[in-house]
Structure 1
């Protein structure tokens, strides 16, 4: 009887042990999937990380940590940065940049938060670039700002990461400067319109003068002009001047 009792106790103990092990397994076991566009880092007991290729990985969380990194191009936007131009005019500039992670191990070994470092580098590059340009230069060619920022970011400025593109999105002027530039543009457009009107009037006068000289040299052209006018009116009232003399003037005529 006692032997059976101890067998039952042993079985119960084994079942309890298996249950505890199973609970611990479920509690600490983790599964991570690294997708095709990602790479992973696996840290075990604080040792240098292992680079993981795409796949499915299981590990125990009590001594292991895993991180995944997107290897595609990532967009970073910096909005409304107050900067000073070389002529001491303050404006707000917004830019966007795309970057790509090249080596997660180097990046994580070198920076506590690589995103904040990249943001900071772009801010400084933007301020340094705008400090070398006058406002009119910046407004006329914003692409030159982006090119200067890209040159300021040397290829190895952040090991393990590269910036692929930099673009200037907006240049925002203060309200008083907006009004000044609007007045300048308005005056420029009004001057262009007046110049075009003057050119049109001058061209019209030249055409009239040329026509007058042609008519004076070739009186027969007046008769041809009269015939063309009579054909085009088709019964409507017309007035045709054949010459400067009153006797040569044909008055109003109606075709019945």
Structure 2
């Protein structure tokens, strides 16, 4: 009797172990790459998966977007400026079969490829382009990575350059350059203002020359402004043609 119980218990344990090794449940974002006797036989999931123990093995593949931080890379720009650049890489698996079979470790392979591509692309541009045209550089790097990882079943969705670190000497040089640029713009704006003011003065002089009475109105306006300033000195503009009507000037002329 005891022997029968042991036999039934052994059979129950074997069945439980068989079911535990045969039944797999994959989530919505997971896929299973199935190998039968070492040969690829298909991709299954999500849901309930039944495997033949010992004969079949399954390797899971996560289809969600993965994030990798590209460590700081030493880059020398085209104008020979050394900088340190780091970035963030976003990618996902679009073909589980190729991601598992074509490359041993797609995470490490994608990371190393991103570092190499980042140094290669940024080294072809000047420092000003790195600082001002990040969006275009991100697009160029993403396109190159996407082409090279396509054979692995990997889709690079986005790569973003995070920081571009400069040494203190370059920071001071860029600050001086920016200050000089601001002074240049200020001088140009001042010169343009002087030019426009001179053009308006010439236009005003032509208008006043056409109407002599307008000059008298300008005299009165100037006197009004001087009186409003509470100054002890008053400058009174005297028209030259008014002096011609004085008695002394009239006798001297005759």
Q: TM-score, normalised by structure 2?
A: 0.70
Pairing 1:117–2:109 present: yes
Structure 1 residues 164 and 13: CA distance shift in structure 2, 3 A: closer
Q: Structure 1 stretch 11-20 or stretch 115-124: which is displaced more?
A: 11-20
The equivalent position to 2:190 in structure 1, one of 180, 184, 197, is 197
Instruction: Specify every segment of 5 or more residues in structure 2 that has no aligned partner in the other structure, as ranges.
Output: 243-254
2:133 is aligned with 1:133: no
Deviation at 1:91, TM superposition (A): 0.7
Deviation (angstroms), 1:227: 10
Note the residue ranges of structure 1 that are not aligned, 5 or more in a row: 1-7, 249-256
What RMSD in Å do the two structures reach over aligned CA positions?
Answer: 3.9
Indicate how the Cα distance of structure 1 residues 119 and 154 shifts in structure 2: closer, same or farther if over 3 A, else same. Answer: same
- Greater fraction helix: 2
Distance 1:245 1:225, change over 3 A: closer
**Partner Cα separation in structure 2 for residue 73 and residue 19 of structure 1:** 42
Total equivalences in the alignment: 233
User: Is the Cα–Cα contact under 8 Å of residues 25 and 46 in structure 2 kept in the other structure?
Assistant: no
**TM-score, normalization: structure 1?**
0.70
What's the counterpart of residue 247 of structure 2?
A: none
Q: Structure 1, residues 185-220: CA drift from partner, whole Å, max 9, x if none?
A: 111111111221232233234323432432232134
Asked if 1 retains the 8 angstrom alpha-carbon contact of 2:93 and 2:155, the reply is yes
- 1:104-159 per-residue CA deviation (whole Å, 9 max, x = no partner) reads 12221122211111111121122222333333443453445335434544735543
- Of the candidates 155, 160, 168, which is equivalent to residue 162 of structure 1? 155
